[in-house]
Chain A
Amino acid sequence: MFNDPNDGSRLVPYPSGALVPERDLGKTPILEVRHLGIDFGGLTAVDDFSLTIGRTEIAGLIGPNGAGKTTVFNLLTNVYQPTRGDILLDGYSTAGKTTAQVNRMGIARTFQNIRLFDKMSVIDNVKVGLNSSTKESFLACMTHLFGYRKAEKLAQEEAMRLLDFMHMTDVAYDEAGSLPYGAQRRLEIVRALATKPGILLLDEPAAGMNPSETAELMENIRKIRDTFQIAVMLIEHDMNLVMGICEGICVLNYGKVIAKGAPEDIKSNPVVIEAYLGKKKEA
């Protein structure tokens, strides 16, 4: 189940001490988060969150309910502006950018509660993802001239390729809202991939899936990483999935990082076990 240590997935430290997979060592990390924190009124939701993710790393973010995992995703995509700390995406700070700008800089995400464009067709959902790379001016869109046809054809081909990648071409012209649950989750991933991200954030991608669907999802996540050579960071409660595909895992509790490391280390870490299961009663 664990990653093969010979494919370069073994975690090794950067000079800064942050752990990344061996094969990503020589490159700038795709994401570098330093002492990130946010307060809502008097409540500190996330505090001193630091994390480094390698170029092609599959990273997991786990923790009990309410630990602040989704808040971290919202901070990374600037849905919330952080109170403290820095986020460096491919070496560039995302401070002060809008969510849309951060996406164009290279972070794409899915949502815990699926957020598709329900009334649009499946392929149109993907084309919306392609939007920022489609070269269609407002004038071209209104007249269907000035390079409209060429751009539309490219978008159509690209969208079909992406759908094919996740085996969704059969439902390309169905309404997105009418898809079964698992397919909706897959479509969200395709739409996120369409924005050509450097890192893909998946918020509970296996929620509500049965074991065989989860196994397929794990395959897909690996395939995405291998094909597009991007990093994937996922929030997940399904420990089989997390331990099966993640190279580095970060455990969050009460908004603070309580452990970081390879799956084997996390599994046997007493602090993590305590956070999930509670303290052992003294006999």
Chain B
Amino acid sequence: MSQKAIKLLGGSRPVDKNSAITVSIVVALFAVIEVLKGTGHISNLLSGLLVPICMYITLAVSLNLVVGILGELSLGHAGFMCVGAYASALFSLVTKEAIPMTWLRFLLAFLIGGAVAAVFGLLIGIPVLRLKGDYLAIVTLAFGEIIKNLVTILHLGVDKHGLHFSTESVAALRLAEDGRILIKGALGITGVPKSSTFEIGFVIVMITLLVSLNLVRSAKGRAIMAIRDNRIAAESVGINITTYKLFVFSLSAFFAGLAGVLYSHNLATLTANTNNFGYNMSISILLLVVLGGVGSIRGSVIAAIILTALPELLRGLSDYRMLIYSILLIVIMLFNASPKLVALRERVSPKNLIKRKKAQKEVQANV
């Protein structure tokens, strides 16, 4: 075996460094914000954004697993978030008295929210993942809408006879005197404990990030990317495509469910509408993934932070806010995707500057 090969065998792989950088960025940002919070240097506006930013990072990273790593376009990501949000909110509401320990209740809420979303991901994935490309996108969009609309008409109450369902009205539940209404259709769920904090959000982000980064650098991750790059070749080397697709789809749904739990425990009233669980949300998440770079997990994190904070930070511009926001989106997109700008960026990147200097030195040494 050649000398170089032996060195490579023992040496660290460049990909490892990449994940470490991504994780360091997130941890450093968290530390900075914690310090600012501790010293009271954070505005009300920004502190209100911290949990949503964690939620959006989780959503963007998890959608990137499907879009960037598996290579399938899903437009129903908000649907899974919705399932996670409602399942966990319901759980927290019911067990508010039964489990007095907030941390335990919240931990269970996360597990339940994530698990229910993952099961939905699996159930929807089985029929849907036979489709490819545009067809898959349209069907996932439809599933997302179905979930949102079902939740909007769902009424749920509980009394001594057990659970009561209705899709019409609270009256149709026919609850006994002592009955308690849990979900009030379009009015949603009220009284969910506001347990979400920035610290918990950070933990959820870290879990999502570490699992995603680990997965990409593993045997299964390589198999998943192989399916993305060439399905026929992947099959020819013994990869069972359905298993991997379903796995990624439900893992992604699991994380979306966790984001939903963060969301539902950050509000006084949980309702479902187009902006939080509908296609608007799904497209917003996809926007984060595309702007951050499809397949780049670090990109998703950065895009989620910037694009969540941006509209709020631009609030001072009042009427021009959305105009500026849209222009910024276009500029970021051009910066990321225009071939000339990409070339320019690569020319001036510190990594390449060092490389070029090294090469120059070598040339000089050889002369």
Minimum CB distance partner of A142 in chain B: B211
For A215-232 the 0/1 string (1 means CB < 8 A from B) is: 000000000000000000
Using known A-B contacts A117-B225, A120-B222, A195-B237, determine if residue A173 contacts B214 with beta carbons closer than 8 Å: no
CB distance from B223 to the nearest CB of A (A): 5
* Contact of A100 with B238 at beta-carbon distance under 8 Å, contacts A128-B223, A169-B1 already known: yes
Q: Check if B222 sits within 8 Å of A131, measured CB to CB.
A: yes
Complexed CA–CA distance, A157 and B8 (Å): 10
Q: If A128-B223, A128-B226 touch, does A141 touch B238 (CB 8 Å cutoff)? A: no
A115 interface neighbour in B14, B233, B247, Cβ under 8 Å: B233
Q: Tell me whether B237 and A157 are in contact (CB under 8 A).
A: no
Q: Which residues of A contact B218 (CB under 8 A)?
A: 136, 140-142, 144, 148, 152
Q: Mark B184-204, 1 if CB is under 8 A from A, else 0.
A: 000000000000000000000
A127-B219, A138-B220, A169-B8 known; A99+B211 contact, CB < 8 A: no
User: A104–B5 contact, CB under 8 A?
Assistant: no
**CA–CA, A161 and B220, complex, Å:** 21
Q: Which residue of B lies closest to A136 (CB)?
A: B219
* Cα A115 to Cα B226 with chains together (Å): 11
Chain B, interface residues (CB within 8 Å), range? 20 to 34
The answer to whether residues A124 and B222 also contact, given A116-B230, A169-B4 and a CB cut-off of 8 A, is yes
Point out the residues of chain A lying under 8 angstroms from B219, CB to CB. Answer: 127, 130-131, 134, 136, 141, 151-152, 155
Please tell me if the beta carbons of A103 and B238 are within 8 angstroms of each other in the complex: yes
In the assembled complex, the Cα of A232 lies from the Cα of B9 at a distance in Å of: 30
Of all chain A residues, the one with the shortest Cβ separation from B10 is A156
Residues of B near A131 (CB, < 8 A) are 219, 222-223, 226, 237-239
Q: Does A172 contact B (CB under 8 A)?
A: yes
B278 — which chain A residues lie within 8 A by C-beta? none
A120 lies within 8 A of B8 (CB):
no
Residues of B within 8 A of A55 (CB): none
Does B309 count as interface, using CB distance less than 8 angstroms? no
CB contact under 8 A between A128 and B237, given known A120-B225, A136-B218, A142-B211: yes
Interface centre among A138, A163, A194 (most CB of B within 10 A): A138
B128 at the A interface (CB under 8 A): no
| Complex contact A141–B236 (CB within 8 A) | no
Q: Is the CB of A128 within 8 A of B234?
A: yes
Q: Is the CB of B230 within 8 A of A117?
A: yes
6 nearest A-B residue pairs (beta carbon): A141-B218, A169-B5, A103-B238, A115-B233, A117-B229, A132-B238
Interface residues, chain A, with chain B CB atoms under 8 Å away: 77, 79, 98-101, 103-104, 108-109, 111, 115-120, 124-125, 127-132, 134, 136, 138, 140-144, 148, 151-152, 155-157, 160-161, 163-164, 169-170, 172-173, 191-192, 194-195
9 contacts between A and B (CB under 8 A): A103-B238, A115-B233, A131-B238, A134-B219, A142-B211, A148-B218, A152-B218, A164-B1, A169-B2
> Which B residues form the contact surface with A (CB < 8 A)?
1-2, 4-5, 8-9, 13-14, 211, 214-215, 217-223, 225-226, 229-230, 232-241, 247, 251
